[in-house]
Amino acid sequence: MTRKPLSGKRPLESKPRAIIVGASSGIGAALTRELAHQGYLVAAVARREALLQELCDTINTAVGELVAFPFVHDVTDYEEVPALFQTITHQLGGLDLIAYVAGVQTAVSLDEYNFEKDRQMIEVNLLGAIAWLNQAAIRFAHAGYGHIVGVSSIAGDRGRVGAPVYNASKAGLNTYLEALRNRLSRQGVTVTTIKPGFVDTRLLANAPKTFWVITPEEAAAQIFQAIRRKRQTVYVPARWGLVGLVIRHIPSFIFRRLQI
C-alpha cells in the first residue's frame, strides 16, 4: 500500500480527488485513466498489485506528473476499509468522488447451485460496495458535498435463469445505491448508478450471448459524462435503457418462458 506523500506540478487544491475501487483492469482501469486525464488525483484500489502499479506508472508517465496512486486491497477484507479509507483521503488531501467498480461473475451452469461461487459474488459485488461506500457516505454527509458512483449492471433489472446470484448481487447494489441517493441528496451528495450492458472485459467469458459490445474506454468516457452531469441512473450505452425498460415490464409468466 502506498504511503508516500503525494506531489505534483500544481497544488492539490486545484485538482478534484477520486477513489476508484476495482481499478486494476476493465472498466475500473479505464475510468482511472479517464479521470486522471480529466485532471483528477486518483487513488487506484485493487487486489492485483502488479497490474495496479503498471496502470499508475503508465498514467503518470502519460500525464507528466504524479496523479495516480496505487493502494493494494482485497475488497472482501472489510475490516481494513475504514482505516484504508482514512489513509487515502488524508494522502489525497480530501475527496470529491468515489466509484466502486469491483465485480466478479463466476460461471454457473443451469443446474448448478454452488454456495461458494454465490458467496464470492455477493461478497465482492455487494458487501464490498457497502463497506467502501458507507465510509464515503459518512464523510460526504458531514461535508455537505461529494459524489458516489456504483457500477452495477443491466443484469440486476430481472432475475435471469443463467446467473441468479450475480443478478441478485447487482439488484441489491441498485437498491442500496437508490437508498443512499434518497438519504444523501438532501445533504448535497450525488449518487449515480451505472448499468452497463456488454463491455469487453473478462466478465464476458461467462456470457452465453453478447451484442452491442463496447470497450472499457468507451464505457469510462460515458461514465465520466454521467459524473460530470450528476446523473442518477445511467445505462451504458444509453440504448440499454430501452432494453431495460422492456425487460422490467415483461410479465413474470412470459419472462419465465423466454429462458433468458
| Cα 214 from Cα 233, distance rounded (Å) | 19
| Cα 37 from Cα 49, distance rounded (Å) | 22
Please tell me whether residue 250 adopts helix, strand or coil conformation: coil
The grid cell for 185 is 441528496
DSSP 8-state secondary structure symbol assigned to residue 235: E
Query: Could you tell me which of 51, 2, 1, 57 has the C-alpha nearest to residue 23?
Result: 51
| Cα 223 from Cα 164, distance rounded (Å) | 26
Strand partners, 192: 149
Pairing of strands 233-236, 41-46: unpaired
Q: Active-site residue 166, yes or no?
A: yes
| Cα 47 from Cα 204, distance rounded (Å) | 20
Residue 217 backbone phi and psi in degrees, to 5: -65, -40
Say if residues 68 and 32 touch (Cβ distance below 8 Å): yes
Strand partners, 195: 235
Catalytic residue, chosen from 78, 113, 145, 166, is 166
CA dihedral for 148, 154, 157, 162, sign (positive or negative) = negative
Q: Cite the active site residues.
A: 166
